[in-house]
């Protein structure tokens, strides 16, 4: 049996029952692909249901406000994905007459869509001969063929893409792509691959040499930037002051307490004013993002001079209506506001 037939037969029997697999509607497949980038299936599924319920069509998504979308996206991280989702939906409405594009080339023009997503949608929904190469596919192919070209190099990306295209079957290409990704997710897992149950174990190089842990090879380590955030949690007559992040930085257009960023963690107050008394200092758990780690301190103040309340002052219950970075959400959920 050929490589692709083994994958297809295995997938047929072992595929997980996931809601976006029920239809070949490109809008739903696209939503699921964007949500599942950098997100586990268990967590992503709940978000998928929320999005489909709120925005059953691409038109509904296009006409929503960015704030509404960010609010639903809250907790998933990588917020640029949500903003791109919104812009791409507007593109579908304005540039494609509301019809989701049907070819790899056209899908690739949508905001935030790269080779991976365009290949997935065009092969799954329209049977186009495009190979999908995600982290799972890199791992399976690197181990199976014993390929040690770093997958984060230009040469590696090209080599794996060419190989993946060569392996494509002539029929059922969408099912095959999903099968290879599913095999990587369920059997050829990063830490403990279940090689005994693997349908391609007879000719797998890494399995034959017991070198599974050596693949795939990466050349660079991601550099983590350390950042020190000091949030000023100011209470005034039971309300708290919040503001929108407008800088070109993480969490753009989400809400936060006023922020002072410093070059190291601060032990003594970063802000003083005759209007405020400091009543507490809470250190958050370090918050790890893909390229940066945030060390946050919440400085809790009480407003002692009367100040007029404007829409920037909100009650504890209203925090759930605002898109918040997970770090702030955890602080609010922790019941730390009085």
Binding site residues, ligand SF4, CB under 6 A:
140, 143-144, 187-188, 193, 195, 198, 200-201, 204, 206-207, 212
> Tokens standing for 148?
């040690």
Cα separation, 175 vs 156, whole angstroms: 25
Find all residues with CB under 8 Å of 323, minimum gap 6, and list them. 67, 70, 71, 73, 74, 253, 254, 255
- Residue 108: is it exposed, middle or buried by C-beta count within 10 angstroms (0-12/13-18/19+)? middle
254 within 8 A of 244, measured Cβ to Cβ:
yes
Instruction: Please count the CA atoms within 13 angstroms of the CA of 229 that sit on its side-chain side.
Output: 22
Of 214 and 262, the one with the shorter C-beta distance to ligand SF4 is 214
Catalytic residue among 33, 172, 175, 182: 33
Alpha carbon distance 154, 324 (integer Å) = 36
Q: How far is the CB of 212 from ligand SF4 (least distance, A)?
A: 5
Nearer to ligand SF4, 127 or 146 (CB): 146
**Nearer residue to ligand SF4 within complex by CB, 44 or 193:** 193
Q: Which residues contact 286 (CB under 8 A, 6 or more apart)?
A: 293, 294, 295
Q: Closest separation between CB of residue 197 and ligand SF4, Å?
A: 8
CB of 13 or CB of 246, closer to ligand SF4? 13
Q: How far is the CB of 44 from ligand SF4 (least distance, A)?
A: 23
CB of 33 to ligand SF4, least distance (A): 23
Closest CB to ligand SF4 among 96 and 145? 145
Is 33 annotated as catalytic? yes
Burial 253-283 (b: 16+ CB within 10 A, else e): ebbbbeeeeeeeebeeebeeeeebeeeeeee
Q: Which is nearer to ligand SF4, 183 or 232 (CB)?
A: 183
As a 3-state breakdown, the chain gives helix, strand, coil percent values, each rounded to 5, of: 45, 15, 40
Eight-state DSSP code of residue 210:
T
CB count, 10 Å around CB of 64?
A: 17
Contact (CB, 8 A) for 79 and 251: yes
Q: 301 phi and psi, to 5 degrees?
A: -125, 155
Quickly list DSSP for 161-180: HHHHHHH--SS-HHHHHHHH
Per-residue tokens: 101: 């594009």
Nearer to ligand SF4, 195 or 278 (CB): 195
Residues catalogued as catalytic: 33
């Amino acid at each position: 049996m050929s490589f692709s037939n083994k994958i297809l037969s295995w997938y047929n029997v072992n595929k997980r029952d996931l809601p976006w697999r029920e239809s070949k509607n490109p809008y739903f497949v696209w939503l699921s692909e964007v949500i599942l980038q950098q997100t586990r299936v268990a967590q992503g599924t709940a978000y998928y249901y929320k999005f489909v319920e709120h925005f059953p069509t691409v038109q509904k998504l296009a006409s929503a406000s960015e704030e509404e979308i960010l609010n639903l996206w809250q907790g998933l991280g990588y917020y640029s994905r949500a903003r791109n989702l919104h812009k791409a939906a507007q593109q579908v409405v304005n540039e494609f007459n509301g019809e989701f594009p049907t070819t790899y080339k056209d899908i690739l023009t949508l905001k935030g869509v790269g080779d991976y997503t365009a290949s997935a949608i065009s092969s799954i929904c329209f049977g186009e001969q495009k190979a999908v190469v995600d982290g799972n596919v890199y791992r399976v192919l690197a181990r199976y063929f014993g390929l040690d070209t770093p997958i984060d190099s230009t040469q590696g990306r090209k080599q794996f893409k060419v190989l993946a295209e060569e392996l494509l079957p002539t029929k059922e290409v969408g099912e095959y792509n999903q099968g290879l990704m599913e095999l990587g997710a369920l059997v050829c897992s990063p830490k403990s691959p279940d090689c005994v149950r693997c349908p391609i174990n007879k000719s797998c190089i890494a399995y034959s040499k017991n070198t599974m842990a050596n693949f795939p090879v990466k050349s660079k380590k991601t550099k983590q930037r350390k950042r020190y955030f000091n949030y000023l949690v100011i209470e005034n007559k039971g309300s708290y002051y919040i503001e929108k992040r407008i800088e070109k930085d993480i969490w753009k257009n989400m809400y936060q307490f006023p922020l002072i960023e410093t070059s190291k963690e601060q032990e003594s107050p970063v802000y003083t004013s005759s209007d405020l008394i400091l009543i507490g200092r809470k250190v958050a758990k370090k918050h790890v993002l893909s390229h940066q780690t945030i060390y946050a301190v919440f400085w809790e103040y009480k407003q002692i001079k009367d100040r007029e309340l404007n829409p920037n002052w909100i009650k504890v219950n209203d925090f759930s209506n605002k898109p918040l970075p997970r770090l702030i959400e955890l602080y609010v959920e922790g019941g730390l506001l009085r």
